Amino acid sequence: MTEMEVEATLEKLNAFDPHVSFTIERPDNEGYLPFLNTKIRLNRGQKEYVWHKKAASANILVHSRSAHPQFIKANVVRNLMKTKEKLCTATDVGVERTIARILEENGYDGNPTTTATWFPYSTSDGIPLILPYVGDRAARAVNEVVKQAGLPIRLVFRPPPTLKHLLTSTQIYEAKCPETDCQYCIDDKICQLRGTVYLIKCDGCGERYVGETMRPLRRRLDEHRRALINPSSYPSESFSRHRTLKHTSERAPTFKVNVLHRHLTQTLERKIMEEVEIRRHNPARKSTTERSCGMYYG
């Protein structure tokens, strides 16, 4: 079909209904016709392909500074380069410049440290062990321990929530509080949060406690408060021991609460993040007594 015949056909199609319009993709100045993520042209009877990205594309990749495991970032760069090499039948200066610009915009400047990779340990038919990603150094250390132990598991590191996830969260209980003058919801509505890791600071002596709970946070905080007020009724509670050891002849002290992590539905994930925060707020803590007591000095 000649170009004139194509134009005539297009004109007839557009004449059928004024509400329906057909268009034709036309080759650019170099003779390339875009198709999905490629551009195609005929050169002396031979087909030539090059990688293509629409001008309207945002060119957003997993950024090099994002809180994702390093191997994910490396795979993003590797897959982009593999796709380009697979789709290009010849080297194209324009394509190379576009790839370089996209990588630079997303923080990949050619430095080997930004694209170095490693892979989580995995065995065939291994049981998935999903862990929160708290940093590449810690993830590598866990990976090495599991690898040396030869455990029949498949490691999966889950990145933290994205900004989009946090802003579009539909957790309706966050904005609710059953009391008009809540002693916990001072700055934010936190008493109905579930799956939290929290930090408590004693107003009487300044000691700190890191804990976790899947229940509504108010229930757990009420238990701590009752243990402070009546320690003899809660002999195994950390706050009972704290009242007995630190505020024996004083009135029960008040405390302030700060939510460190929220929406952690997996018990293992909460336990890991609890230990991370314990070490972060008191890295010098060593004794078994302090660990069992639950009070961490700041």
96-133: per-residue pLDDT in tens?
Answer: 888 888 888 888 876 555 555 677 888 888 888 888 88
Structure tokens given for 239? 């706050």
Contacts of 136-141 spanning 24+ positions with Cβ under 8 A = 136/69, 136/70, 139/69
- pLDDT at residue 172 tops 60: no
CA separation for the pair 190, 179 (Å, rounded): 12
CA separation for the pair 247, 49 (Å, rounded): 77
Helix ranges restricted to H, 38-162: 70-87, 93-105, 112-115, 136-149
CA separation for the pair 243, 238 (Å, rounded): 9
The percentage of residues in the chain with a pLDDT greater than 70, rounded to a whole number, is: 89
pLDDT value for 100: 87
Nearest in space to 258 (alpha carbons), one of 209, 168, 198: 198
- pLDDT at residue 284 tops 80: no
* pTM for this predicted structure: 0.50
Over the chain, what is the mean pLDDT? Answer: 81
Higher pLDDT, 173 or 245: 245
199 within 8 A of 210, measured Cβ to Cβ: yes
pLDDT category of residue 169 using cuts at 50, 70 and 90: low
What's the whole-number mean pLDDT along residues 259-273? 87
Q: Class of 169-281 per CATH?
A: alpha beta
pLDDT value for 171: 59
- pLDDT at residue 278 tops 80: yes
- pLDDT at residue 149 tops 50: yes
Numbered ranges of CATH 3.40.1440 in the chain:
169-281
| DSSP-assigned letters across all residues of 197-254 | EEEEEETTT--EEEEEESS-HHHHHHHHHHHHH-GGG-TT-HHHHHHHHH-TTSPPPP
